[in-house]
Structure 1
Amino acid sequence: MKKNPFFWLAGITGLIIDQITKYWVAQSFSSLGQTVAIWSGVFHFTYVINTGAAFSFFTGGAPWLRWLSLSVSLGLMALAWWGGKMKRTEQLGYGFILAGALGNGIDRFLFGYVIDFLDFRLIQFPVFNLADVFINVGIFFLLIASFSPSSSPGLKQ
């Protein structure tokens, strides 16, 4: 874990935050479809379940998606554990993707669905959760890493 500490920090912290927010939604909302306006007409918390992938693609696809989440999670952990030392932006990128894959994967294995609740109504965007956000943040960090110069000996990143 000392080799890629930001990977593990992002992965574990993101997973905990994702699971706590989903638990909060499940405990705080009395029924599916219930919504609370944070900024009316713009952003709401809306309790929905999703049996598909991010943004409700492949609805009903939970059986194969759970195995995909598990495979991605195990692959990322193997990369961080047995692979070389990564740049900090790569560690964060892969760590956030791990957080999202594990967060939604755990839900798919335990319940057969994920809880979504972030509802941006202004742009009619599908309801999503923090695991989805973490995956996208991870992709953003990997894009930054791919455009940044390779490290030189002696340079700290």
Structure 2
Amino acid sequence: MNLKNRFFWVAAVIGLILDQLTKYLVVINFELKETLPVWSEVFHLTYVTNTGAAFSLFSEGGSWLRWLSLAVSLGLIVLAWLGPRLNIWEQLGYGFILAGALGNGIDRFVAGYVVDFLDFRFIQFPVFNLADVFINVGIICLLISSLQQPPPASRARN
């Protein structure tokens, strides 16, 4: 079987598994709002819940985010399955974004909130999770891809 965009699927599956596994481990090993200093006052593992988007944006009335996660996930799956063969950076980018959208989307549909636990205190950053990391890594991959491709006007002249 020749699977088009295979790096998309690999990034999405591995990212989703890592996201859900780490959230599960936090939920079974921590009490809500419990914190474990890994490096005191720099990085802690802190179990919190978030009804909003990444980094607690839209935390009030964010129930629409579950449907956005679903729509983004379905759109990315259709792109990878039915769309053109993507370059490796696009495959990784869209795959990681899918992993993040599915990871947080599953939480929103099942529990009504997202489990966050990565707490960088030295910069007073909101607590977040691996799904948030994967979405940002995916965006970086897409930026790299866009920098590698010539602008559309120069492609037309060649």
Normalised TM-score (structure 2):
0.92
Identity %: 68
> What SS class does the counterpart of residue 36 from structure 2 fall into?
strand
Task: Output aligned runs, 1:140-155, within 5 Å.
Answer: 140-149=140-149
- Does the residue aligned with 2:100 lie in a helix, a strand or coil? helix
| 1:76 counterpart = 2:76 | yes
Distance 2:43 2:119 in 1: 6
Structure with more helix by fraction:
2
Structure 2 gap ranges (5+) = 151-158
Paired residues for 1:91-110 under 5 Å: 91-110=91-110
Contact 1:52 1:65 survives alignment (8 Å): yes
- In structure 1, stretches of 5+ residues that fail to align are 151-157
Distance 2:108 2:62 in 1: 6
TM-score for both structures, normalised by structure 1 = 0.93
Instruction: State the SS of the aligned residue for 2:63.
Output: helix
CA distance in 1, matches of 2:62, 2:108: 6
CA–CA distance in 2 between the matches of 1:62 and 1:46? 22
The 5 A counterparts of 1:53-72 are 53-72=53-72
2:156 corresponds to: none
Offset from partner CA, 1:55-94 (integer Å, 9 cap, x none): 0010133420000000000000000000000000000000
Show CA shifts across 1:32-63 (max 9, x none).
Answer: 11000000000000000000000001013342
Q: After the TM superposition, list the runs of 4 or more consecutive aligned residues in structure 1 that deviate by more than 3 angstroms.
A: none
Q: Tell me the number of residue pairs that the alignment of Structure 1 and Structure 2 aligns.
A: 149
For 2:114, the equivalent position in structure 1 comes to 114
Indicate whether 1:27 and 2:50 are aligned: no
Which region of structure 1 is more displaced relative to structure 2, 54-63 or 79-88? Answer: 54-63
Q: Which residue of 1 aligns with 2:154?
A: none
Please report the RMSD computed on the Cα atoms of aligned residues, expressed in angstroms.
Answer: 1.0
Residue aligned with 2:115, SS? strand
- Do the aligned partners of 1:62 and 1:112 also contact (CA within 8 Å) in 2? no
